[in-house]
Amino acid sequence: MKKLFLLLFTMMKIGLFTFGGGYAMISLLENEFVSKRKWLDAEEFLDMVAIAESTPGPIAINGATYIGYRVARLPGAIFGTVGVVTPSFVIIYLISLFFRRFLSVAWVASAFRGIQVAVVFLIFAAALRLFKKLSKTPFTLTVFIAVTLAAVALSLFAIRFSSVWFVLIGAALGLFAYLFALLHHDKGDGEQKQAEDGGEGGAP
């Protein structure tokens, strides 16, 4: 029980001091649970990062759930995850209460028109950073170019098509390419290796 609350408070502390999302949080988690408390060894921690990167959802949530489970099974996973989201939940909820009124102040509205430019720039920058990390094979580049063109074109022609489908189509293509390579065994070996090396997803 004591361990559960220690886990809860440690995760709350991490949740409170992480700015800028998943990867910033990974270094805090490492420091707290591997270096300081030794609840996990370095290898397990790397497994956690691999899982966090290859499963859906925010990396911080994957991380907190994984470490919590390792420390105290299901109750640990719940306490860890609740701990990591509670501080930001409270902060954002409080901000959301007065945000619209705040925006109705003239100079604040002007400031946010500028800030919108910065956010579009940040999204561009994130896309470029992730593109650099992507392992570039003919297959991944084709998917990348096709999805970019299709998504922009559909939006310009006002055709509603949820991004969810693009992700699922990407998954299906990845699987098809792999099965195709398996069928053409000798030719497929190279492609298979590249698929395994697969780049990292992830945000700052």
Contact set for another protein, span 61-80 (CB under 8 A): 61-62, 65-66, 69-70, 74, 77
What Å distances lie between residue 50 and 18, 151, 168, 178, CA to CA? 20, 28, 20, 21
Instruction: Give, as ranges, the residues between 16 and 35 that touch another protein (CB under 8 A).
Output: 16-23, 25
Q: Pick from 1, 38, 98, 117 the residue near another protein by CB under 8 A.
A: 117
Query: Considering beta carbons, is residue 36 or 109 the nearer one to another protein?
Result: 109
Rg (CA), the chain: 21
Number of chain positions touching another protein (CB under 8 A): 115
Return the residue of 55, 187, 189, 190 that touches another protein, per CB under 8 A. 55
Residues from 127 through 166 that contact another protein (CB under 8 A): 127-131, 134-135, 137, 139-141, 143-148, 151-152, 155-158, 160, 162-164, 166
Positive or negative CA dihedral for 172, 176, 177, 179? positive
Q: Which residues 6+ apart lie within 8 Å of 13 measured at CB?
A: 32
Sign of CA dihedral 106, 107, 109, 114: positive
Show the binding pattern over residues 34-53: x = contacts another protein (CB under 8 A), - = does not. Answer: -------------x--xxxx
How far apart CA 128 and CA 130 sit, in angstroms, is 5
* Intra-chain end-to-end CA distance of the chain, in Å: 34
Give the contact letters, 172-201, x = binds to another protein (CB under 8 A), - = no: xxxx-xxx------------x-xxx-xxxx
